[in-house]
Amino acid sequence: MTSSFPRRDALAPAAPSRAAAPASQGVAATPHELYGELFVAVQMARVLGDGKSFVDARPKSPPALIRARFDVERHGAGFSLADFVRTHFVPPGHASAPMPQVDIRAHIRQLWPLLAREQRAAVDGESLLSLPHPYVVPGGRFRELYYWDSYFTMLGLVADGQRGLAEGMLANFDHLIAAYGFIPNSSRSYMLSRSQPPFFFKMVELLQAADPAAGFAAHLDALKAEHAFWMDGEDGVAPGHAHRRVVRTADGALLNRYWDDRCTPREESWREDVETAEASGRPHEQVWRDLRAGAESGWDFSGRWCADPTDIATIETTALAPVDLNALLAGLETAIALGAARTGDAAAAQAYEARAATRRMLLQTRFWQTGNGEGYFADLNWRDAADPRPLTAAGLVPLYLGLATAAQADAMAEQVRRHLLGANGLLTTALTTGQQWDAPNGWAPLQWMAAQGLASQGHADLARDIAERWCASVHRVFLATGRLLEKYDVAQDRPGGGGEYETQDGFGWTNGVYVAFKDGLLRPATP
């Protein structure tokens, strides 16, 4: 069947010139920049179904030639956009899964090599960035190196004797910081305008567990560069204003938010973002910026980010200082202080420790809400501190990083028991919105941070309960389906749902956290 080429939707912005691209993007052109109206037409028509398929496709010819052919052929009688795409692009594939094993640990060990990738040289017109070392991808539609996913994957790699692969991944992140000044959301050109939760220092700590300060010293330049990325513009931000990822409250407190240097639809979810903006009744560029910032958070998406939790069109990510981001940055500042002290730079050590201490104080005060029984950590609306924010699993990150008082840790433990503990582990939020980072879903990284944080704060029984419930459900779903998944329903034994795409197999961080739990909190006691 033939179909005429669809006109570019009036809502969809034209491809920007290279000169308009953010400085952080360097020389890597995105698919939108490379293919212009062809890109918009393909994404708006859902030619390949999942919008991520086209931005991950490999062109068979130089992009300029494909674009020129499109400009000529689209006006011909009987032109088929789908046929044109099939002729000029190789769609991305999925790794075939091994035959399920009765032993889930054996199955995970078989998955590691299947999830490993290598891309040492860039391909003209392909969005995948080159990296010097092999790496592990999450799985399914996620065919590239992801930032925060990788830490939780590396937990399992280290436990399963794949330390060399984990070290190579850390070296790739060092490379990305050197090349771009920060770690992007993933190793794709279309994600070079945003990062993800800053777990680089935790990766260093993992691989230098016997002496973390030595690891921080060895990676000090990269750690400082990442911190500078998050704090860009801090000196010029007036009270009540923001610049990129830095915000200053009306009384002068310096905090951070998620942001993206672009304000166009996400290239991998172009049509979805165009439709969300149209439904919002708000300036489209603001909606797109907030959607992109939500993607930088890793929680894409959650009612956590929305003025109306049930309506994604009310997303306001950039209006919020997230509790988990600010806790992670306190951890990064402490890591830099320890690394600087190890190198003998006392002045830098003192300066970064002072930053961490200030952020710790702000977390314990500004991010602590008392409107739900015993109180809880939550995000902060940096323009309106009185805006009540919901309880989420992100509120356990201050415990994970040792930033909560004993009383706050006790209160958070009680909040978990009352509101977030499901039959199969920790709920992401208590909100039911249809978004994937809300109830009834549970995610591996949140199980890990919650359990580790609670255990370190005197709540070992609750920590073990979370780990046992989640691992048992993962195992039951595996036995029933032969699959390891990116997310799970923590109310019933089944895959998680909701969001923009089908639940994916693989799956890097689930494998890593399952293995780490079994070798840590859930290791059988020695007689």
> Which phi and psi (to 5°) does residue 44 adopt?
-70, -30
Q: H-helix or E-strand containing 136?
A: strand 135-136
Please calculate the CA angle 142-143-146 and round it to the nearest 5 degrees.
65
Determine the Cα–Cα distance for residues 424 and 440; give it in Å rounded to an integer: 10
> Which phi and psi (to 5°) does residue 73 adopt?
-75, -25
The burial class, CB within 10 Å (0-12 / 13-18 / 19+), for 210 is exposed
CB 249 within 8 A of CB 382: yes
Which of 267, 273, 300, 438 does the annotation list as catalytic? 300
Q: Which residue has the tokens 């794709």?
A: 188
Which of 144, 267, 465, 486 does the annotation list as catalytic? 486
Residue type (1 letter), 131: L
Q: 328: closest CA among 260, 247, 403?
A: 403
For residue 504 the two structure tokens come to 């994916």
SS3 of residue 23 by DSSP: helix
Cis peptide bond upstream of 6, omega within 30: no
SS3 of residue 187 by DSSP: coil
- Measured in whole angstroms, the distance separating CA 253 from the mean position of its chain's CA atoms is 26
Determine the Cα–Cα distance for residues 375 and 401; give it in Å rounded to an integer: 19
Q: 450: closest CA among 362, 364, 517?
A: 517
For residue 515, CA distances in Å to 107, 151, 200, 454 come to: 11, 13, 21, 19
CB 287 within 8 A of CB 412: no
Is 300 one of the catalytic residues?
A: yes
Q: Tell me the longest C-alpha to C-alpha distance in the chain.
A: 79
Give the β-pairing of 487-489 and 441-443.
antiparallel
Active-site residue list: 300, 486
